[in-house]
Structure 1
Amino acid sequence: MSPSRTLPTFLRAELAKHNTNKSCYVSIGTRVFDVTDFIYSHPGGGELVLEYGGKDVTEILKDDASHFHSDAAYEVLEESFIGFVATEKVERTTAKDSLRDESETSNEDSTNRRSVYSATGMSSAEDLSKETDLAADYQQHKFLDLNKPLLMQMWFGGFSKEFYLEQVHRPRHYKGGESAPLFGNFLEPLSKTPWWVIPTIWLPPVTYGTYIAREGCSSVLEEAAYWFLGLFLWTLVEYFLHRFLFHLDKFLPDNRAALTLHFLLHGIHHYLPMDKLRLVMPPTLFLALATPFWKLAHTVFYWNWHIATAVFCGGIFGYICYDLTHYFLHHKTLPAYWRELKKYHLQHHFMDYENGFGVTSRFWDVIFGTQLAPPPKKV
């Protein structure tokens, strides 16, 4: 029986009305898809999905310059298939053939075009947002059940270091793009940090610290020089923290305390990279990490407390930029420079987590030889 006899047919004018975050449809050729649930988990940002709401997306799906779409993207669409556009092609088009014909892709071609990276089990950024079947994932891997609080599973799981590192770097996507339970009790809200909390909490003390640091500097120019020195030093701190603390994989002790701490510090981000509320650093954790740097700044620049404070404030401003950039790279549509940086950072997640440690810049990756290789091109 033809699919057109069991699924609704939409007029183009009717399709065009579904272009909001409450009801967002797109078409590929003659097929219609309800992508409302995918708006806020799309790697390119929800704005990009809404931009094409009610429209045909055949060309944008094929435009690698804008954003490469892997087979996973088409699989996500397949699950959202709801009907047909009212044209003569409806009667002679099957669901699978239409999607592949209109997008000029096939299983054979996609096998040749993209490799699946053994370290992550993924092939592109689109895979990061392909919803995980929670029950099937746990049954297959016997790692963490995303339906239950994760912390106690980590602590009592008895995982070996080798198994843990293999699993935590194979990204999952929690149902609906929500946050998986971590504590499962009243502490749960403390584990979630919206991105806007970062500038709200840290910009006022940075501004005040910069203001009082002026008193001990000979001029505004001197203070600015030390402040920007702190900002520059942050870029190096960012690289070393990401490479040697967050990815302390090879030197990680093989015991449950070390593995659980690693999971809380950064492992959970690689395990659930599109979790919006566990992407920026919680204020309490940042305060614990920032305190030693406060002492270090005043030890290195011991001769002038105000200069040390200016350096520290520049560094903290760099951190604010880092955390916001990190969030936007995962969840927003960005201008050209950041769009390339987004592709680079998401490669770190889906392709090679042992390289590509720069988030706000590739500079130190180039200097230290940890730059990510470009993904294979289409053939």
Structure 2
Amino acid sequence: MMPSANLPTFTLKQVASHSSKKSCYVTLGSKVYDLTEFLPDHPGGDDLILEYAGKDISQIIVDADSHVHSEAAYEILEDCLVGFLSPEDAKKVANGSAAAKNVASAVTNPGPAADAPNYRTGMSSAEELSIPTDYTADFKTHKFIDLNKPMLMQVWRGNFTKEFYLQQVHRPRHYRGGESAPLFGNFLEPLSKTPWWVIPIIWIPCVCFGLNKASEGLSNETVATCFVGGLAIWTFIEYCMHRFLFHLDEWLPDNNNFLTLHFLLHGIHHYLPMDRYRLVMPPTLFIALAIPFWKLAHTIFYMNWYIGTAVYCGGIFGYICYDLTHYFLHHKNLPSYYRELKKYHLQHHFADYENGFGVTSRFWDRIFGTELPPLPQKTA
């Protein structure tokens, strides 16, 4: 593609100077893209983009080991186009990389989509989870929630049928620029947002305190055994809660109050899955769920309070791992095992929310027959 008269040209040196979170440019073929605003929304995490800030991404964008990008990824790139490389530098890039030529051709002349959109979610790839929603057009089309306004009262007063509500809440939207859509629209709003780092800061000291109390009545070996046992029990609780509490869609009463409760508990996450401040459980909600489990642990292990405490601490540590894993699966570049888990979890969001309930592993999905099948591979 020839440089447009409406867009400037850049040298490679100029592009290289935009290599930070405040200004992040990349090149792909002869095109220059400003990904600064997209950084918080990248499904692979902003750290992966920043690794290539100021550089050419022709190799990484087609690297199957990292991630096979869909047509939606190239659509997002085109929205970020800010200019072109100077003819001299464009030749240098093209001559130095065969991938640059192939990708440039694919972006200029995109072929037909490899996968049809899922009829329930309206999406065909993880990248589409990060395409900003046109709030006004979406509300005009679906008559569900206007993201320009606080969401909670719209759900509560919406008089939606259960069928319509579930159809809409499982069609993901995306609020622009890494921000959070308003939920309450009042002084309660901060209570609905939780940065990921709050979880270890609050709960790891509690786990350490509990283990210290347990060690007053148990040997270190027994504490460790109970802790690991509690961690194993958590994996089953994680699966059951995700499947039978967060996704109790089939058994959800057709009532505004229950629909609103469902939206607060998990529906909002499926509606806005890339909202980085609503990916971990707010401490107030966690306390409400944790108290019954404290009583249950000490009821089951009634013969020894210290054993119940150590097992409970193992379960709480499992929850911490779960919440942090969940956040990182949505927003960070991860080692190979977690990259596969990331694809698996995002598939739960954009393709099949009725399966794939494991977040930290697929183990219980395999046991209970809810494992997601591999996505079909794209063919040339």
TM > 0.5 between the two? Answer: yes
**Which residue is equivalent to 2:317?**
317
1:137 aligns to 2:144 (yes or no)? no
Structure 1 alignment gaps of length 5 or more: 92-97
Which deviations, in whole Å up to 9, do the C-alpha atoms of 1:63-97 show, x marking residues without a partner? 23211222221111111111110116989xxxxxx
How large is the Cα RMSD of the aligned pairs? 1.9
Paired AA for residue 47 in structure 1? D
TM-score by length of 2: 0.94
Which deviations, in whole Å up to 9, do the C-alpha atoms of 1:153-206 show, x marking residues without a partner? 010011111111111111111011210000101111111111111111111111
Q: CA deviation at 1:101?
A: 5.8
Alignment of 1:1-379 (within 5 A): 3-87=3-87, 102=104, 104=106, 109-111=111-113, 113-217=114-218, 219-379=219-379
Structure 2 alignment gaps of length 5 or more: 92-99
| C-alpha distance in 1 between matches for 2:153 and 2:164 | 17
Paired AA for residue 184 in structure 1? G
TM-score by length of 1: 0.94
| C-alpha distance in 1 between matches for 2:188 and 2:103 | 50
Paired AA for residue 224 in structure 2? A
Structure 1 residues 277 and 262: CA distance shift in structure 2, 3 A: same
Q: CA deviation at 1:99?
A: 9.8
3-state SS of paired residue (1:84): strand
Paired AA for residue 375 in structure 1? L
8 Å contact from structure 1 (residues 27, 54) kept in 2: yes
| C-alpha distance in 1 between matches for 2:29 and 2:108 | 16
| C-alpha distance in 2 between matches for 1:6 and 1:205 | 58
| C-alpha distance in 1 between matches for 2:18 and 2:167 | 41
| C-alpha distance in 1 between matches for 2:107 and 2:57 | 14
Identity %: 65
8 Å contact from structure 1 (residues 4, 90) kept in 2: no
Paired AA for residue 104 in structure 1? A
Paired AA for residue 151 in structure 2? L
Q: CA deviation at 1:2?
A: 6.3
| C-alpha distance in 2 between matches for 1:103 and 1:315 | 51
3-state SS of paired residue (2:328): helix
3-state SS of paired residue (2:37): helix
8 Å contact from structure 2 (residues 179, 275) kept in 1: yes
8 Å contact from structure 1 (residues 61, 103) kept in 2: no
8 Å contact from structure 2 (residues 3, 9) kept in 1: no
3-state SS of paired residue (2:59): helix
| C-alpha distance in 2 between matches for 1:301 and 1:90 | 69
- Count of aligned pairs between the two proteins: 371
3-state SS of paired residue (1:83): strand
Q: CA deviation at 1:17?
A: 1.1
Select between 59-68 and 118-127 the one with higher mean Cα deviation: 59-68
| C-alpha distance in 2 between matches for 1:227 and 1:61 | 42
8 Å contact from structure 2 (residues 252, 258) kept in 1: yes
